[in-house]
Structure 1
Amino acid sequence: MPHRALARAVTALVALLATVLGVVLVPGTAQAATVNYVALGDSYSSGVGAGPYDLSTCLRSEKSYAPLWAAANAVTSFRFPACGGAVTADVINSQVNSLSTSTTLVTVTIGGNDAGFADVITSCRFGSTTGCVNAVNESKSFATSTLPGRLDATYAAIRNRAPNARLVVLGYPRLFETNYCGLLAMSTYKRTILNEAADLLATIIADRARAAGATFADARPFFAGHGVCAADPWIRDVSGVIEAYHPNAAGYRYGYLPALNAVLG
């Protein structure tokens, strides 16, 4: 059969199949993929710091990166069980119940509360330098010895409930700039060792995420220059007990959201 006749025959066959299947094929276009998105994790996913919050005790905000991404990408479905204060056990024991075999995308921030984030920050902000150093060292010891196993179990639980989903693990930002920012600010030394602890935590989370076949989204480059003590901070200082040292609305929109977009394309 001549090439042109063969091409016409193939085109006619495709058109017939499209009619039978009820699908309209337009050259140069494709049907939008189904995206069933579930956002798991702790306060850095629920949106603590951004406000306003829902009526639950989880402090979920529509200004967090997860609902922002869901709205921008017109997802098929979106579930948001992320909860302020969550640890790995909360994800494993309850949050994964929002997953299913139809889930196609999962994001999560987790591990900071397991490593004692709140206690370390409190020790450093209001305690002595020695107390801060001890708290940081204790947290780093936990992060290197115990946290990896907890992360492995968490990612495995997610995989078990959502075997067809892409898993994106987002890290935590460095919280501080180390320039001078007033007599009442935390010392430069304290801020420096807290940032070093954040780097260690990011390294551990990234390693375990990759071992689980997940994608790691590093938030640190996107928050660089916008930590506490910056001219334009995206991290809250001690402006609120619950919201302290969490991203503000700009941090979720201009820090976390671009970090997620960078790995999802």
Structure 2
Amino acid sequence: MGTFALALALSVVFVGPAQAAGPAYVALGDSYSAGNGAGNYDSSSGDCHRSLNAYPYLWKNAHAPSSFADTACSGAVTADVVNNQLGPLNSSTGLVTITIGGNDAGFSDVMTTCVTGSDTDCVNRVNTAETFVRNTLPGRLDTVYNAIHAKAPNAHVVVLGYPDMYTLNVFCIGMSATKHQKIDEAADLIDTTTAARAAAHGFTFGDVRSTFKGHELCSGDDYLHSLVISPSWESYHPTATGHSAGYLPVLNAND
């Protein structure tokens, strides 16, 4: 066997076939998917504040999908997903991830009210949000999930939830224990509501409360930002560690 032929044969034996690319992946959703708070922002994403440290990019970097698109955007509500984010979806899309619903329920206003107002103000504002989650949010989620399935009928869709915001029953400077408990109550309601609607559409729900357990605000090992003065839009959002140790493991377990 000649030198060239021997080298070629050895390359076939020892190198083997190239690793296949993963499925085409599209990330949708709000600031918890865009990565507000995770730093390393893509300047081209403008006010959407997409972070290269957010879980969609971490999954993309680890799995090398055949294609990747991220249309998640800070402040997005369900209607924004339907109207502005579904362009990259098609019948070849293999994986879709999304967090959505918190802004529909008034997440930012809830947190502002609870930070600046009394316990009663906070409880009343959360009660209003919870009424919305029970009565209106399910239909809005159905609209989003139907639109995703219509455009990407072959995709595996992972709907990721929101973490509880606070570790309860520990000493913590700042808002009262009453406020902490009420805010966590609202997060739990959004998660259970979202999980039920995702299941009804045959989608997978990824519950991040387990990976954030013990790492909420007041834990001493927080995966979330508390109040941030500048930029204020990072407030009450996951840190880079929250994405790598909170969101990514849940996505990896359900992708």
User: Is the TM-score greater than 0.5?
Assistant: yes
Per-residue deviation, 1:52: 2.1
Alignment of 1:242 with 2:233, yes or no, is yes
Tell me which amino acid in the other structure corresponds to 1:242: W
1:142-175 CA-partner distances (Å, limit 9, x unpaired): 0000000000000000001111111100000001
Q: Which segments of 5 or more consecutive residues in structure 1 lack a partner in the other structure?
A: 1-23
Which residue of structure 2 lines up, in the alignment, with residue 256 of structure 1? 247
1:116-149 CA-partner distances (Å, limit 9, x unpaired): 0000011111111111011000000000000000
TM-score, with length taken from structure 1: 0.86
Tell me which amino acid in the other structure corresponds to 1:159: H
Asked if structure 1 preserves the Cα contact closer than 8 Å seen for 2:21 and 2:63, the reply is: no
Quote the sequence identity (%).
Answer: 53
Within the candidate set 35, 40, 44, 1:47 is matched to 35
Q: In structure 2, do the counterparts of structure 1 residues 29 and 213 end up closer, same or farther at CA, with 3 Å as the change threshold?
A: farther
What is the count of residue pairs matched by the alignment? Answer: 238
Distance 1:72 1:222 in 2: 19
Per-residue deviation, 1:239: 2.1
Tell me which amino acid in the other structure corresponds to 2:248: L
Q: Which contiguous aligned blocks of 4+ residues in structure 1 show a shift greater than 2 angstroms? A: 28-34
Which residue of structure 1 lines up, in the alignment, with residue 3 of structure 2? none
Q: Which segments of 5 or more consecutive residues in structure 2 lack a partner in the other structure?
A: 1-11
Which residue of structure 1 lines up, in the alignment, with residue 180 of structure 2? 191
Distance 2:13 2:100 in 1: 43
Cα RMSD, aligned residues only: 1.7
Which residue of structure 2 lines up, in the alignment, with residue 67 of structure 1? 57
Which residue of structure 2 lines up, in the alignment, with residue 202 of structure 1? 191
Distance 1:151 1:71 in 2: 29
Distance 1:245 1:207 in 2: 25
Tell me which amino acid in the other structure corresponds to 1:64: A
Distance 2:242 2:72 in 1: 17
Distance 1:224 1:132 in 2: 23
Which residue of structure 2 lines up, in the alignment, with residue 171 of structure 1? 161
Q: Give SS of 2:132's match.
A: helix
Q: Give SS of 2:86's match.
A: helix
Distance 1:34 1:252 in 2: 21
Per-residue deviation, 1:36: 0.3
Larger Rg belongs to: 1
Tell me which amino acid in the other structure corresponds to 2:91: T
Which residue of structure 2 lines up, in the alignment, with residue 12 of structure 1? none
- Correspondence list, 1:218-229, <5 A: 218-229=207-218
Within the candidate set 7, 32, 37, 2:25 is matched to 37
